[in-house]
Amino acid sequence: MISTETSSSYPTNRFSIAPMLDWTDQYCRYFHRLMSKNTLLYSEMVTTGAILYGKGDYLQKDAAEHPVSLQLGGSAPLDLAQAAKAGAERGFDEINLNVGCPSDRVQNGRFGACLMAEGALVGDAVKAMKDASGLPVTVKTRIGIDELDSYEFLCDFVEKVKAQGCDTFIVHARKAWLSGLSPKQNRDVPPLDYERVYQLKRDFPELTIAINGGIKTLSDCETHLQHLDGVMLGREVYANPYILSTVDQQLFGCDKEPLTRFEVLEKMYPYIESQLSQGVHLNRVARHMLGLFQGLPGARAWRRHLSENGHIPGSGIEVMQKAASFVIED
């Protein structure tokens, strides 16, 4: 029986928001955090090359984001170890390795989903990252790749990685086709197989197993949590972020009243002002908030006003206030 209490270990994978390239940047994470204090947030995937040799700062985050995991893309254990150490130094709470992304670019770098075929290497990488960072290291993976899609293959991969000290796996419950499908198609076309992930938990009860893929409601989360330790949601949270407002109550047993959508918006203003004063364009933050009023009368006008005006240089809070004036609160 899986406990419904908030785990005392930190961070907990009970409910998390998936790493999403170009979406779960620092601005998005700040916004999401306002609505749930227990949700584990993930960075976008950052490659070891970007961290070790890139010109930009790819590890930016705000202190308010905790708990937050840094997802790394790479395969060379030494590079991953260095990148994980950099993540620890910048205050991330967990390191996650991407073993699920099927894009060609990622395969050329020999990382992402194709690493499922190299369990021993992933194990070595996990150990190196743990030793170098001192942080928990988790792996986000698929249930298989190409023709390597038997349950035995998945177990063999998990066994090898577990042997090197990984005790938490987030499993996107569909396989990936490494050629023939785009990354976007690979998020929809291969069928979901939740039962396979449940079976994995039954066979590895000592591991923390979280499930991902196609989950849309908190009541679906509750169903999965009867079988598993955690759920990870991606696209649904991004499109309809206010779903987060009841996560703490419904999934973590907290009794604090959620903020209203307008209170969330109000709380974003000082943060946005401070970003604007550092030269960040309004749209870089506002684009993540388009779904805040989903389902309410005026939500479309809110989105339209922000989309049409948020990118104009010099746009400020007044654009958001005007956009919000179209929304009628429930």
Active site residues: 101
Query: What distance in Å separates the CA atoms of residue 32 and residue 166, rounded to the nearest whole number?
Result: 27
**Does the footprint of ligand FMN cover residue 102 (CB under 6 A)?**
no
- Minimum distance from residue 274 beta carbon to ligand FMN (Å): 26
User: Binders of ligand FMN among 34-93, rule CB under 6 A?
Assistant: 44-45, 71
Q: Which residue of 13, 15, 18, 144 would you call a contact of ligand FMN, by CB under 6 A?
A: 18
Number of residues that bind ligand FMN (CB under 6 A): 22
* Residue closer to ligand FMN, measured from CB, 19 or 310: 19
Give the Cα separation of 104 and 126 in Å (integer): 23
CB 128 within 8 A of CB 81: yes
* Nearest residue to 13 via CA among 235, 221, 241, 288: 221
Contact 249, 258 (CB under 8 A): yes
Compare residues 31 and 323 and give the one whose CB is closer to ligand FMN.
Answer: 31
Q: Which residue from 28, 101, 125, 282 is in contact with ligand FMN, where contact means CB under 6 A?
A: 101
- In angstroms, the CA 64 to CA 67 distance is 9
User: In what helix (H) or strand (E) does residue 86 lie, and over which residues does it extend?
Assistant: helix 77-89
- Rounded distance between C-alpha atoms, residue 261 and residue 245, angstroms: 9
Question: Would you count residue 214 as binding ligand FMN (CB under 6 A)?
Answer: yes
Minimum distance from residue 190 beta carbon to ligand FMN (Å): 11
By CB under 6 A, is residue 100 in contact with ligand FMN? Answer: yes
Contact indicator for 87, 97 with CB cutoff of 8 Å: no
CB-hemisphere CA count at 13 Å for 91? 9
Closest CA to 168 of 199, 198, 140, 142: 140
Could you give the string, one character per residue 133-172, with x where binding to ligand FMN holds by CB under 6 A and - elsewhere? -------x-------------------------------x
Q: From the CB of 215, what's the least distance to ligand FMN, in Å?
A: 6
Cis? peptide before 67, omega within 30° of 0 = yes
Interface with ligand FMN in residues 221-240 (CB under 6 A): 233-236
Nearer to ligand FMN, 12 or 96 (CB): 96
Of 74 and 324, CB closest to ligand FMN:
74
Residue closest to ligand FMN, measured at CB: 234
Residues numbered 181 to 210 that lie near ligand FMN (CB under 6 A) are: 187
